[in-house]
Amino acid sequence: MLRIERIELREIRLPLREPFRISSGVCAERRIALLELTDASGVAGWSECVAGEEPNYSAETIDTAWHAMKEWLAPRVLGRPVDGPELVHDLLERDIAGHNMAKAAIEMGCWEVTARLRETSLSRLLGGTRDRVPTGISIGIQSGPDALVERAKRAVADGYRKIKVKIQPGADVAYVRAVRDALGSEVSLMADANSAYRLADAAHLAELDAFGLIMIEQPLGRDDLVRHAELQKRLKTPICLDESITDLDRCEDMIALGSGRIVNIKPGRVGGFTPSMRIHDLCQRHGLPVWCGGMLESGIGRAHNIALASLPNFSLPGDLSPSRRYWERDIVTPAWDMDRDGLVPVPLGKVGMGVAPDMGRIDDLTVRRELLVAQRGNP
Ligand code: OSB
Ligand code: MG
C-alpha cells in the first residue's frame, strides 16, 4: 500500500556542457522539474519531469507540466491510499487529457517510493532482467560533416554501442555518408530527424538506405502514422517512432498500419512506467525491438530510464550516456558512468533508483520550489 502525503516540486537550472541541437530546436541550459514524494510512512523517493523548455518536441513544457502537476495531478494522489504503483497511471489518466510528462513524473515517483518501501531496486520492481544495459550516444546537429565525423569517432573510441546522429534537411545525406565512411560498415549507426521531413521527401530519404542504418527515427510529423506507413513502404531502412508513440493505442496503430518497426520508449512521453511496460510487452509479442530514449535528463531521470532499460525486450542500446557527456557535474552520487564496452551497470544491489540526490548541489541549482500536501477529503 502506498499513500503519498506530500510532493515537493523544484525547478533547477542545469547548463549543458555544450548546446544540443535537434531539427526542432536547441537547448543550452536545461530547466528541470524534480519531485520528491513522501509516503505516509515517511519514506521518500525522487523523480524527474522530462518536459522541455520549449514546446518543440511535444506540446508540454516545464511550465505546463508544473501547472498540471500542481492543479490536477498531484491532488489525485495526495492523501489517497493506492494498492500499488501499477494503479497510479490509470488513476491519473481518468478524465485528464494529455500532460503525459507531468503524469509520468508523478507515476514514476510512486514506483520509486514503492521500491524503497519494499527495500528492493527499482529495476527489480519493474521486472528488469539485465544487470548491465548497453548505451548509445545521440549526437546533435553539427556545423558540418567533418565536425560530426570527429564526434562520432570519439564516441566509438569511448565504447558507445550505437551512434545516433541528428539530421534535418540540408544536414542529412552528406553528413551520414561522411560518418559511415569514417566509421566503417560494422558500427551501429542511425539517424533521428525529429519530424523534420514531409512525405514528399521520400525519394531523398531513400538515399539513406545506402548507408546500412539500423533505423531512421521519426522522419515525419509527430501525429502522422498514416504517412509514416507510406514512407516505410518506400524505405529499406526500418522506421523507429519516437514523438508519435504517446500511448499504447498509438503503438497498436503503428503495428496495424506498418508505420514503423522499432519503438523508442521514453517513459516521460507515454505517461510513466506502466504504459512503458505495456508498450514493451506489446512490441515483444509482435517481435519488434524497443530501446530507451533520452531527454537530456539529469542523473535522476537517467536512473529511472536505466531501470526501465533493464527489461528484456530493450534489445537495442538506449540513449543513456554517462553524466559527464551532459554536465560538468551531475546532481546525483555516484554520477552515471559506463565501462569501456559501453555498458552501464544496473544498481541492483541498492534500494530504489540506486543513486542519491546531491542535496547541496540541488539546493544551489534550485530557482523555484513548491510544497504540495494532501488536502482533506481525498478518499
Ligand atoms: O529525439 O530523442 C530525441 C533530446 C531532446 C529531445 C528529443 C530527443 C533528444 C535526444 C537526446 O536525442 C538523447 C539523450 O538524452 O542523450
Ligand atoms: Mg528522437
CA 227 – CA 90 distance, rounded (Å):
30
The catalytically annotated residue of 103, 153, 166, 350 is: 166
Residue 220 Cα to chain centre, angstroms: 19
**Do you find a cis peptide bond into 334, omega within 30 degrees of 0?**
yes
53 and 173 share one domain: no
Does the pLDDT of residue 342 top 80, yes or no? yes
Domain with residue 351: its CATH number is 3.20.20.120
**Phi and psi dihedrals of 136, rounded to 5?**
-115, 170
Question: What value does the mean pLDDT take over residues 236-245?
Answer: 98
Ligand 1 contacts CB of residue 160 (under 6 A): no
Residue holding cell 528488469?
128
Cβ distance 34 to 66 under 8 Å? no
Q: Is 266 a catalytic residue?
A: yes
Give the type of residue at 229.
A
Q: How far is the CA of 191 from the centre of ligand 2 (A)?
A: 9
Q: Which domain holds residue 248?
A: 124-356
> Has residue 9 been placed in a domain?
yes
Residue holding cell 511550465?
63
pLDDT of residue 378: 56
pLDDT of residue 376: 66
The catalytically annotated residue of 103, 162, 164, 266 is: 266
pLDDT of residue 357: 98
Q: What is the pLDDT of residues 83-112, one digit of tens each?
A: 999 999 999 999 999 999 999 999 999 999
Which atom of ligand 1 is nearest to 325's Cα? Answer: 16
247 and 207 share one domain: yes
Ligand 1 contacts CB of residue 319 (under 6 A): yes
30 and 129 share one domain: no
Cβ distance 266 to 295 under 8 Å? yes
Q: Which three cell numbers stand for residue 213?
A: 542504418
Q: What is the pLDDT of residues 183-218, one digit of tens each?
A: 999 999 999 999 999 999 999 999 999 999 999 999
Q: What percent of the chain has pLDDT over 70?
A: 99
The tally of domains found in the chain comes to 2
Q: What percent of the chain has pLDDT over 90?
A: 98
**Complete DSSP assignment for 208-242:** GGGGT-SEEE--S-TT-HHHHHHHHHH-SSPEEES
163 and 301 share one domain: yes
pLDDT of residue 377: 57
* Average pLDDT in the chain: 97
78 and 149 share one domain: no
pLDDT of residue 215: 98
